[in-house]
Chains A and B, each alone.
Chain A
């Protein structure tokens, strides 16, 4: 994802920008009676298994805060240990990354008793050495751990030191002497040894502490230490896994993201305690490499999804990517397949989908090179990867003119015309199509829409960009419906552009070159009913393009959750993914929807983020998609009402006869801001309502997302 658009649903930074329904939209009149015609004989390509996928990235500590059970930060001692804060305040102390800041190890005793040994580190470049005193305990501690009363925590610590040293490892949940549990370790030697740890918290705490101290003469070294709740599932958080499993996401794209471009997969496999920590300059964050390639595969297995791997084409090369394919997919008779087996995974993962590079077009990308070189690089990667496993499906990392324009690439290229033109050097996707043909099966696209802003090419040309937003973004005066339609317009734009590519490269159709929108998000829109309306229109628009849009991945997989250190619930985005995933799953057959009320004409000049026509079905002001279930037993109709009035409509279905009791799943709430938070009573629910026989008149409640299920009479 693009650095400037750092969206996280983990923290809900609320920007008061509730739009009033009063803007002067050039609305056309809504007909007196809104009619929807569904023709089940006009069927599009079935919905892909990968329609509602997810993206995840090692963006700072995101994965460690949301998915992974490890409770200790910097468990491999990448950072120095001092009682003083570093001179420059770390960037992660502010902004949406606030919650991702690392807890720090602090000395127990004077600062000078903790020295970082760089000569013989256990892992990485240094390990702490503690100078001992015979009576005063010296060591290190980390505070801020969340503990639950009665919960068991287990782990391990690697120690070496002067024989005779008495080391105590304590889990502390309060101030009192008794509010801790201590594991005593006495038999240290000059070689590192692993000691098991086990604790049970006797009280809830949000500021629990983990302490490692010793007394004696000489010194002791701490190699690495780990602590997890004992109920972790192969290292992952059970409550988070359970929530995400419900989404039927089909696939997760991993492990990044921008972070990939200076990350080395080789260092993320094998004994987790011996994997070196590294500093990622994309997000300015240390990575412990605890969640590496094998753990990501475990995650996918736990979630019931296919992995879709992006390889490092920033600082990484084709050989390393091919090695990664061998590690993941090679038989145990290959060198790296055998290494995988030694690491506990004899069975190849058979990873099918591979993406070469992440946003290589972006000036923010570490190692970014020009299109003319990138296409050669892509070809090198594809050939090397296919040589290892010819069965893989390769995606090339594209950017269509809208992305190149909006994200400032034309600006960075000093082009006079900031609107990127097809076939020019600013047409990244076009360059891939022209120069990498045969070396990909699909092409990726990312988009981030900014809530409350629209892209204005005139403004992009103006010399004074707004601080905090890309040049060209201007505040948008939008009705609720316009606000909700805004991100689906970006999908619509991609579809318009894809058709242009298919015209320019007709072989795309014969070869079934597909599009993967494998990062997208409505940035700055907190997860609530309002953003759910927008995402529903995004989903509807994506479902209209099943002929070429075969994959999509939302940024981030865990942005579907509201979570704290010990619990998690689906937020409105999560509920919506579940709702669409349940009803428009793999094999669903989209059918034609027409109506008597076209969407309004574009409000702004075409270009930038404004497509030639607005997204949506001709059923203004509501937005409708319909599909037959994979078994053709049901007709499903999704209706988004992003107005504050109830809308009623007449439904005409041709091609099949509806019959029997129908069901409505409806997501709504008392207001647009309604949201679901962990530890609080849910404000938004998906209500299942049984309707009697299929009816001709449907009602869509104000600010609601509705999925109707009509049985088809045989």
Chain B
């Protein structure tokens, strides 16, 4: 993902900027009776298994906070240990993701970092002992649940005779702790098991490792997890994410990939070196490595879709990654995987070469003319290892909002003049890497409350940031909801233009994978609410209208569908939406034609930039609808987004099939647009299942709601 859009929904910073419904929209008149016609004889390509995929990245400690069970940060001692805050105020990660620090127990100088014989990485702490006063280290800020069991391990070596104690501490009192006394140490590192039961709930517990004696002791690494972890993962978040039927997760990044080496993320987790990722300025312990990501996918019930490092990484390393994951045990790296406990190849089908290689923010970014050669090298090397894989090339379609410099002033409203130029990344791949990919990726991030102003952007200084081209605007809830769907609509228009330029795309069924996208609403940090859910409803509807080429998409991030604390989690508004659509527009669903007597309004802004030639949405204004038959053709499923504050009614006419039997409605709504689901609080949003009785022609739709209707159907008699 692009660095500026650093969205993490772990913390909800609420910026009050609720939009009043007063803007002067150029509304088309709504007919007295809204009529919706569905023709089941006009079917589109079936919905892909990968329609509602997810993206996850080692962005700071995101994976460790949301998915992984480890309680301790910096468990391999990448950072120095001191009682002082670092002089450089370099930010570690993101709000809510700062690492807890190890602090000395005793004076600072009793803890030194041994760089000569580290257990793992570049250094391991050495503790100088005193015969009476315990010296050691401590990490505070751990969340514990009363009665819960925590288990782990610690690697220690030291002067024989040292008495080392490891304590889990949940309070001030002498008894508010449980202590394990370590048997005698030796000069060689030994692994010692840890096991504790928390005596009380706490959000500020500590793990303390101290010793007394003469000489010193070294701490190699330490780990602590709740014992109910599922192969290292959090049972609560896994259980929620399983409900989303996401089809696939794209992993392990993301920008972070570009300076990350997969080799260091396999094998004994305690021996994997920690590394510093310059993409997000964050340390990575490499605990969740390639095998763990595969375990995650298995637990969630999805396929992995792997992006390989084409930043600082090379074709050989990518090909070896394919061999590690897909090679038989007879290959060198397949055998290594087997030694690591995974004899069965993972048979990973989808592989993406590089992450956003076009972006100036990408570590190792090179020009298009070189990148296409690099892509080809990667593709050939990877296919040589496993000819059965499906390769995706990392594209970026021509878009006015990306332009800077002279191009912005000159070509902003004439993108055709940029076709085939170094700016046209997707075009460059199509032209120079043909034969070396099956699909092309596209990422997008959109933010509510603004509009890209073409005239203003044209006049910007050549080096002005791309964001300076936006105006702040007031949006009705409907405009706010339609805005990101318009971006999808725009991508579809752009794709059609590529198909025109490269007609072989149709023959070869080159597909589009929108494998990073997110709508930020008004603020990056705002918790997903009903208002955002309405927008995602329109995004999903728009994506579902393009099943002919848009066969994969992945939301940023997989865990952004969950609101979670260190010890609990719940699906948030976005999660509910994914679950709603994922449950009803399952793979193999057959989209059918939907028309109506109320077209969406004409574009409010001049065409170009973020304004497509036509507005996204079905001709059922002010509603946005999408219809599909279930794969078994037994039900007609109709999604209806009502992003207005009024109840809406429509008449449904179905041709090609007959409605027969009792229909049902799943309705997502809340008392207001700001309704949200937060962990530890009463849910404000719910998907209600409402029996509707016999199929009816006249349907009313609740204000600010997303609805999925299921109508039993039979083949129309003649």
Residue ranges of A at the interface with B (Cβ–Cβ < 8 Å): 262, 264, 266, 281, 312, 314-320, 363, 366-370, 373, 376-377, 380
Contact = CB atoms under 8 A, between A and B. Distances in A.
Interface string B252-275: 000000010101000000000000
Give 9 closest A-B pairs by Cβ, nearest first: A317-B314, A367-B366, A317-B313, A369-B364, A319-B317, A316-B314, A320-B316, A377-B312, A315-B374
A461 B259 CA distance: 37
Contacts of B374: 315, 366-367
A200 to B, nearest CB: 42
Contacts of A368: 366-367, 370
Contacts of A366: 370, 373-374
Interface string B298-341: 00000000000101111111000000000000000000000000
B259 A315 contact: no
Contact of A266 (B312, B316, B365): B316
B373 A262 contact: yes
Contact of A262 (B261, B263, B367, B377): B377
Contacts of B47: none
A317 B312 contact: yes
Interface string B614-643: 000000000000000000000000000000
A319 B263 contact: yes
B314 A319 contact: yes
A363 B377 CA distance: 20
Contacts of B312: 317-318, 373, 376-377, 380
Contacts of A380: 259, 261, 312
A321 to B, nearest CB: 9
Nearest to B463: A414
A91 B502 CA distance: 28
A315 B315 contact: yes
A323 to B, nearest CB: 8
Given A320-B317, A376-B312, A315 B363 contact: no
B333 to A, nearest CB: 12
A316 B364 CA distance: 11
A429 B311 CA distance: 22
A319 B259 contact: no
B278 interface: yes
Contacts of B261: 318-319, 380
Contacts of A320: 314, 316-317
Contacts of A373: 311-312, 363-365
B314 A369 contact: no
A367 B278 contact: no
B78 to A, nearest CB: 14
Contacts of A315: 314-315, 370, 373-374, 377
Contacts, number: 63
B435 to A, nearest CB: 12
Contacts of B366: 367-369
Given A376-B278, A377-B312, A317 B317 contact: yes
A281 B367 contact: no
Interface residues of B, number: 21
Contact of A319 (B311, B316, B373): B316
Q: Identify which of B259, B313, B370, B374 gathers the most chain A CB atoms within 10 Å of its CB.
A: B370
A377 B364 contact: yes
A262 B376 CA distance: 11
Nearest to A278: B377
B19 to A, nearest CB: 39
Nearest to A384: B261
B261 to A, nearest CB: 6
Nearest to B372: A281
Interface of B: 259, 261, 263, 278, 309, 311-317, 363-367, 370, 373-374, 377
A373 B279 CA distance: 10
11 contacts: A315-B315, A315-B370, A315-B377, A317-B312, A320-B316, A363-B367, A366-B370, A368-B367, A370-B365, A377-B363, A380-B261
A88 B309 CA distance: 36
A549 B284 CA distance: 40
A366 B366 CA distance: 8
Given A262-B377, A376-B363, 19 more contacts: A264-B315, A312-B314, A315-B370, A315-B373, A316-B314, A317-B313, A317-B314, A317-B317, A318-B312, A320-B316, A363-B367, A366-B373, A367-B364, A367-B370, A369-B364, A373-B311, A373-B364, A377-B364, A380-B261
Q: Identify which of A262, A315, A368 gathers the most chain B CB atoms within 10 Å of its CB.
A: A315
Contacts of A264: 315-316
Contacts of B377: 262, 315
A166 to B, nearest CB: 36
A659 B49 CA distance: 93
A562 B316 CA distance: 39
A366 B367 CA distance: 9
Contacts of A314: 370
Nearest to A319: B317
A380 B363 CA distance: 12
Nearest to A323: B316
Contacts of B364: 367, 369, 373, 377
Nearest to B377: A315
Contacts of A312: 314
A380 B263 CA distance: 13
A256 B431 CA distance: 29
A210 B311 CA distance: 46
A634 B218 CA distance: 60
Contacts of B315: 264, 315
Contacts of B316: 264, 266, 316-317, 319-320
Contacts of B370: 314-315, 366-368
A373 B312 CA distance: 9
A600 to B, nearest CB: 43
Contact of A281 (B311, B313, B365, B373): B373
Contacts of B313: 317, 319
B455 to A, nearest CB: 25
Contacts of B311: 373
Contacts of A266: 316
A486 B227 CA distance: 75
A544 B36 CA distance: 88
A264 B384 CA distance: 15
A415 to B, nearest CB: 12
A352 to B, nearest CB: 24
Nearest to A335: B332
A22 B539 CA distance: 78
Q: Identify which of B259, B316, B317, B377 gathers the most chain A CB atoms within 10 Å of its CB.
A: B316
Nearest to B258: A373
B123 to A, nearest CB: 14
A319 B316 CA distance: 9
A369 B360 CA distance: 10
A610 B637 CA distance: 77
A650 to B, nearest CB: 59
Contacts of B363: 373, 376-377
A370 B316 CA distance: 23
A361 to B, nearest CB: 13
Nearest to B384: A276
Contacts of A367: 364, 366, 370, 374
A413 to B, nearest CB: 12
B259 A376 contact: yes
B646 to A, nearest CB: 53
Contacts of A319: 261, 263, 313-314, 316-317
Contacts of B259: 376, 380
Nearest to A377: B312
B171 to A, nearest CB: 43
A140 to B, nearest CB: 26
A369 B365 contact: yes
Contacts of B314: 312, 315-317, 319-320
Nearest to A366: B370
Q: Identify which of A262, A319, A320 gathers the most chain B CB atoms within 10 Å of its CB.
A: A319
A369 B258 CA distance: 12
Q: Identify which of A314, A363, A376 gathers the most chain B CB atoms within 10 Å of its CB.
A: A376
